[in-house]
Amino acid sequence: MGSLKPVGPESNAVQGSSFLATRADFLINWGRKNSLWPMPLGLSCCGIELMGLLGPKFDLARFGAEAARFTPRQCDLLIVAGTLTWKMAQAARTIYDQMPDPKWVIAMGVCSSSGGMYDSYSVVQGIDSIMPVDLYVPGCPPRPDAVIDAVLKLQKKIEREDPLARLVGPATAPRAEEGTGQLVFQPNRGLPKGAWDKHAHDPKSRLPLGDPLPRKTEIKP
């Protein structure tokens, strides 16, 4: 398990020769998960809830994700809030492509998750048919609390990623944008996982029995 606790003979010193020993991927993930920059893609009424989420009452800044930028080139968290039509789908995919790696996507609301009540010729039946999605937030629209919960779950998910695999791993490692719903998923061997694992919609999180990686799963109702 990673830790940011200083170690060494003078670890209690406020200053001086204390140093930090941790794992690189833990440190990278720690930095990434606590400074998410959301790109708000408000497409319909969910966008109103998203404004409330970024506002002072619900205050996403408590979780380090308040720096909403309206250019995808400065963001790493795409929040698709609302009904995505096929006419808008090309623009949404372009926005996703313009975001620099690493990037994550939250499908906020049932419309972006599954098309919702719009079983229609003009509506994309779930944005995961055009871009990989990390988290789906149910609700019509979901309360800002639910999106905060999604951001916290996304932070847990980021904790389990293996950021060094893209740098030192084989060149054939699949890229996040290569497919739809085919996110690269590397369970961290050391981190304890809670019941939220069972709710991750990533098919790769549903590992078969006989998993070579023993998962310290504690499930409490």
Partner 1 sequence: MSDADANTPLAASAPRFAAALGALPHCISQSPDGPVIEVELANLHAVLRALRDGAGFELCSFVTCIDHYPTTPRFALHHQLLSLAHNDRVRVRCVLPGESAPTCTDLWPGANYMERECFDMFGVRFGGHPDLRRLLMPDGYDHHPLRKEFPHQGIEPDRLYRQWDRARRASWTDDAR
Residues that bind partner 1 (CB under 8 A): 86-87, 89-90, 93, 97, 119-122, 124-125, 129-130
CA–CA distance, 141 with 81 (Å, rounded to integer): 9
CA–CA distance, 39 with 145 (Å, rounded to integer): 18
Nearer to partner 1, 10 or 97 (CB): 97
The closest of 52, 48, 40 to 79, measured between CA atoms, is 40
Q: In what order do the strands lie in the sheet with 38-42?
A: 38-42, 77-81, 104-108, 135-137
Nearer to partner 1, 34 or 129 (CB): 129
In whole angstroms, how close is the CB of 117 to partner 1 at the nearest point? Answer: 13
Structure tokens at 12: 């209690």
Nearer to partner 1, 34 or 120 (CB): 120
Under 8 Å CB-to-CB from 86, ≥6 apart: which residues?
122, 123, 124
In whole angstroms, how close is the CB of 124 to partner 1 at the nearest point? Answer: 8
In whole angstroms, how close is the CB of 93 to partner 1 at the nearest point? Answer: 7
Name 89's bridge partners.
none
Structure tokens at 132: 């990989």
3-class DSSP state for residue 13? coil
In whole angstroms, how close is the CB of 121 to partner 1 at the nearest point? Answer: 3
Nearer to partner 1, 5 or 87 (CB): 87
In whole angstroms, how close is the CB of 179 to partner 1 at the nearest point? Answer: 12
At residue 36, what are phi and psi to the nearest 5 degrees?
-70, 135
Nearer to partner 1, 119 or 211 (CB): 119
Structure tokens at 115: 């098309």
